[in-house]
Structure formats: C-alpha cells, structure tokens
Copies of this chain bind each other. A is one copy, B any other.
C-alpha cells in the first residue's frame, strides 16, 4: 500500500520560485498563559481545539513528518505511510488544517503541507514556564 514508486520523493524544485503560501482557516491570536490565571470557558474552548488536534497518534505522526521534513514542507505522497488508508490520511490532514496547525498548497499534480509557526508558538506559550 501507499505509493510504491519514487515519483515525487524530495522534489523541492530548488526553491527558486518563492512559494506563495495559503492561509490557514484560523488566524488564531489566542492562547493566554495557563498557570497565571484560570482560563475562561471561551479560552478553554479555543485552546482545547489545538491540543485536541495533536491528541491523535496518526495526526501527531503526520504533523511530525511535515515539521521535520527538509524545506519545511512535504508532499502528501511523502507522508502517507503511517499505517492507515489514504482517505484517512487526507481526513487527518484536514483536521490539522482546520486547527490552524498546517497550511496546504497545490502545485501541479501534488499537494504540499507546511507547518504554521505562530500557532505552535502560542501552544508553547500556553504551557508556560515549565520548560525551564
């Protein structure tokens, strides 16, 4: 299952053309601290969506595959080898997109995904100063 041909492995087109980038569904200025004051109901609602998006093993692996891929982006065909069917992969990628964690763009035959850095920063800030 999954691919079987090296049709699109590592195709970065020498990054000469600057990538246009698509917007994610949410701009997300959110995520107050977490240890300083109790979250309100709305804050918790918005913040929980992001944690929930990373709360599935398959989604976490997909996100890690995109985040760790060289160039900061990855074709779907490069990351669909996580043990589930290809429609399921597409479903999880959509969830990550809706949560604002990934952005997608179609270039010719293939669709590329990349990490949305601002949302990650917000999550890290939400976890607070325990990282010290």
Contacts and interface: CB of A to CB of B under 8 A. Distances in A.
A61 to B, nearest CB: 5
Interface of A: 34-39, 41, 44-45, 47-49, 51-61, 63-65, 67-68, 82-83, 115, 117, 120-121, 123-125, 127-128, 130-132
Contacts of A120: 127-128, 130-131
A38 B59 CA distance: 12
Chain A interface helix/strand/loop/mixed: helix
B65 A55 contact: no
Contact of A124 (B57, B59, B63, B127): B127
A81 to B, nearest CB: 10
